[in-house]
Amino acid sequence: MPNKQRLVELRIPSVFGYEKVAMATVTAVATRLGITGERISDLRTAVAEACINAIEYGNGSVADVPVVITMSTDGRHLLVDVRDRGLGETKPRMGKMVDIQNPPTGPHANMGLFLIHALVDEVDIVCRASGTHVHMAMRLPEMALH
Q: Which residues bind other proteins (CB under 8 A)?
A: 16-17, 19-20, 23, 38, 41-42, 45, 48-49, 52, 95, 97-101, 103-104, 106-109, 111-112, 114-115, 118
Amino acid 26 reads: V
Provide, rounded to whole angstroms, the least separation between the CB of residue 99 and other proteins. Answer: 8
Distance of closest approach, residue 47 Cβ to other proteins, in angstroms? 12
What's the sign of the alpha-carbon dihedral 59, 49, 40, 119? positive
* 4 versus 96: smaller Cβ distance to other proteins: 96
Query: Which residue's CB is nearer to other proteins, number 51 or number 71?
Result: 51
| Shortest spacing between CB 52 and other proteins, in angstroms | 6
